[in-house]
């Protein structure tokens, strides 16, 4: 990279909460934030935003009459982005860029409108504008009153970190000085849950009993897939150069695409992750990385292939590894940014957050953290974060 990129604010709303202190306390807790919900008369594990934070979302919905019919994906992004921009000290005169992506888009609203069409044979007036993917960044630009470039995209589960890549590219090119990047997802609907179950990746652990951990992300002894879906949005404010108020620096980015054998394939040792991690490391020694925040969705193949990729890249000195999906589920587009938020918090607090399934070794100092994400299509992204 030509010069580092400062992360001057990070904000999210997820099952862990909506304030940085609330989220940090949730990470310190040994509890998961998963619960059972009924879909088509069957109980399934999900990770949902609390009722208290949902009330905060409803305040966003009623803050502007035009927001009444917006999908949760937009409202979640609005909530997180307002907080991030305020924390970074940005104003309407900054004309910052926006790149907020979503894997599934306006999931709940799209399904509602489609059911309406099947029942009545016609669609509501707002069915198209409120379910088009680009409406997330467009509404954010309206709400935050910026005239900078606004972009939306969908690159499956690595969407959020691809937004980081894009923001970095704009900043490094000199075409922008500030960029708001992130992902938003609200996939807790019957059809989406059914799709994940059809792939045979969804957790069936403890549906008829109480269990400690329904999602076994990074448990390398599991004998079944244990992915659980979550909802939320996470965003970061990026600025070119090293700023005085930087929470962390982006010192390297990497990306790669897996050669596919079928629609959701990934190689045994995740070649895409090997390439993206090496690119993100650039010229620094792998020995300098203290922590890897893994994608680790809780599936047998997904977790094990990423672990093998890390072993290939880091050799005999493996960094401490962690994941947050055992705690808050897999939030699709938001997952990479929520992982990046965890990385920033660990750098800020100088404390390693482990999973229940790996050793709890702590570090005296955390200077460099590598964050991974990958999605259907084998599109991996790695981002290297360092202390300012």
| Predicted local distance difference test score (pLDDT) of residue 304 | 93
| Predicted local distance difference test score (pLDDT) of residue 261 | 59
| Predicted local distance difference test score (pLDDT) of residue 92 | 76
- For helices 190-198 and 107-120, the axis angle rounded to 10 degrees is 100
Check if the beta carbon of residue 96 is closer than 8 Å to that of residue 180: yes
Spatial distance between the Cα atoms of 91 and 145, rounded to a whole number of angstroms: 9
User: How would residue 268 be classed by pLDDT, with cut points 50, 70 and 90?
Assistant: low
Spatial distance between the Cα atoms of 270 and 304, rounded to a whole number of angstroms: 9
User: How would residue 263 be classed by pLDDT, with cut points 50, 70 and 90?
Assistant: very low
Spatial distance between the Cα atoms of 35 and 43, rounded to a whole number of angstroms: 10
Between the alpha carbon of residue 356 and those of residues 28, 155, 212, 335, the distances in Å are 12, 30, 10, 19
HSE at residue 330, side-chain half, CA atoms within 13 A, is 33
| Predicted local distance difference test score (pLDDT) of residue 375 | 86
CA 188 to chain centre: 15
Check if the beta carbon of residue 338 is closer than 8 Å to that of residue 228: no
pLDDT tens per residue, range 214-223: 999 999 999 9
* Of residues 46, 182, 184, the one with CA closest to residue 109: 184
According to DSSP, the residues that pair with 35 across neighbouring strands are: 46
Check if the beta carbon of residue 357 is closer than 8 Å to that of residue 323: no
Is the C-alpha dihedral spanning 273, 313, 309, 321 positive or negative?
negative
Average pLDDT, whole number, for the chain?
94
| Predicted local distance difference test score (pLDDT) of residue 262 | 46
| Predicted local distance difference test score (pLDDT) of residue 2 | 83
| Predicted local distance difference test score (pLDDT) of residue 22 | 97
* Of residues 327, 336, 314, 330, the one with CA closest to residue 385: 336
Q: Is pLDDT of 164 > 90?
A: yes
Q: Which residues of 243-266 are buried (b: 16+ CB within 10 A; e: fewer)?
A: beebbbbbbbbbbbebeeeeebeb
Spatial distance between the Cα atoms of 311 and 292, rounded to a whole number of angstroms: 12
Check if the beta carbon of residue 381 is closer than 8 Å to that of residue 294: no
Between the alpha carbon of residue 381 and those of residues 129, 159, 223, 268, the distances in Å are 30, 9, 27, 18
Burial environment of residue 2 by CB neighbours within 10 A (0 to 12, 13 to 18, 19 or more): exposed
* Of residues 373, 183, 181, the one with CA closest to residue 293: 373
Burial environment of residue 177 by CB neighbours within 10 A (0 to 12, 13 to 18, 19 or more): middle
Q: What domains can be seen in the chain, in order of their start residue?
A: 5-240 (3.40.47.10), 251-386 (3.40.47.10)
* Of residues 181, 211, 199, the one with CA closest to residue 9: 181
Three-state DSSP state, 335: helix
């Amino acid at each position: 990279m030509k010069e580092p990129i400062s992360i001057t604010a990070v904000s999210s709303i997820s099952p862990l909460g909506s304030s940085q202190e609330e989220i940090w306390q949730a990470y310190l807790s040994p509890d998961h934030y998963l619960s059972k919900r009924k879909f088509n008369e069957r109980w399934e594990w999900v990770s949902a935003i609390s009722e208290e934070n949902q009330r905060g979302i409803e305040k966003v919905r009623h803050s502007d009459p035009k927001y009444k019919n917006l999908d949760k994906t937009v409202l979640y992004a609005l909530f997180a982005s307002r907080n991030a921009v305020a924390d970074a000290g940005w104003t309407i005169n900054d004309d910052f860029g926006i790149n907020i992506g979503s894997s599934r888009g306006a999931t709940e609203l799209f399904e509602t409108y489609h059911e309406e069409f099947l029942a009545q044979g016609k669609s509501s007036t707002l069915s198209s504008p409120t379910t088009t993917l680009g409406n997330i960044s467009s509404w954010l630009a309206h709400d935050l009153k910026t005239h900078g470039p606004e972009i939306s995209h969908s690159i499956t589960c690595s969407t959020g970190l691809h937004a980081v890549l894009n923001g970095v590219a704009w900043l490094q090119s000199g075409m922008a000085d500030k960029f708001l990047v992130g992902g938003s997802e609200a996939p807790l609907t019957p059809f989406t849950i059914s799709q994940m179950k059809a792939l045979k990746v969804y957790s069936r652990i403890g549906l008829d009993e109480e269990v400690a951990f329904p999602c076994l992300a990074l448990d390398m002894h599991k004998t079944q897939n244990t992915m659980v879906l979550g909802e939320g949005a996470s965003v970061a404010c990026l600025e070119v150069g090293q700023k005085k108020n930087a929470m962390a620096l982006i010192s390297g980015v990497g990306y790669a695409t897996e050669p596919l054998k079928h629609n959701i394939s990934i190689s045994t040792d995740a070649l895409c992750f090997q390439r993206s991690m090496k690119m993100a490391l650039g010229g620094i020694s792998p020995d300098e990385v203290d922590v890897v925040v893994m994608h680790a969705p809780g599936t047998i193949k997904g977790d094990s292939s990423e672990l093998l990729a890390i072993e290939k890249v880091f050799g005999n000195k493996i960094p401490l590894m962690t994941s947050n999906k055992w705690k808050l589920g897999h939030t699709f587009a938001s997952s990479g940014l929520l992982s990046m938020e965890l990385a920033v918090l660990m750098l800020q607090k100088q404390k390693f957050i482990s999973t229940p399934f790996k050793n709890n070794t702590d570090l005296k100092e955390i200077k460099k953290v590598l964050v991974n994400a990958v999605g259907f299509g084998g599109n991996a992204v790695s981002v290297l974060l360092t202390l300012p």
